[in-house]
Amino acid sequence: MSDTEINNIRVAPNFLLREFECKDGSRQVVLHRELLERLQALRDALGRPVIVNNAAVGGSPHSYHLRGMAADIRVPGLSPAELATAARQASFRGIIIYPTFVHVDVRP
């Protein structure tokens, strides 16, 4: 299987599994179903692409990113503040606004 085929599997109408790959080169994916469902609901509500731009995850060994329960996202044409408002409406439980993206998660 070529590198372009690895994780090139549609997991929701607007998301491929490869969008959630670890950025450390391992291509590993851990993806919680609720995160995917909420991201798809957000995309449907906005009618615009939701870009997952998770950086290489470092820091806390208890990070929601490592459990597949968090994503760093951006939406072309929306400010992080506007995106955070939409994320609240999509029922994400954790929302952190950064200068160029928004962290969303489905923490318990």
Q: What pLDDT is recorded for position 68? A: 92
Q: What pLDDT is recorded for position 62? A: 78
Domain count, the chain: 1
Give the residue numbers spanning the domain of 49. 10-105
10-residue mean pLDDT series, the chain (108 residues) = 76 94 78 97 98 71 86 97 98 97 96
- Please indicate, yes or no, if residue 48 is contained in any of the structural domains: yes
- Please indicate, yes or no, if residue 4 is contained in any of the structural domains: no
Residue 72 is encoded by which pair of tokens? 């760093």
- Please indicate, yes or no, if residue 63 is contained in any of the structural domains: yes
- Please indicate, yes or no, if residue 3 is contained in any of the structural domains: no
- Please indicate, yes or no, if residue 1 is contained in any of the structural domains: no
- Please indicate, yes or no, if residue 90 is contained in any of the structural domains: yes
Q: What pLDDT is recorded for position 73? A: 96
Q: What pLDDT is recorded for position 52? A: 94
Q: What pLDDT is recorded for position 108? A: 92
- CATH number, residue 86: 3.30.1380.10
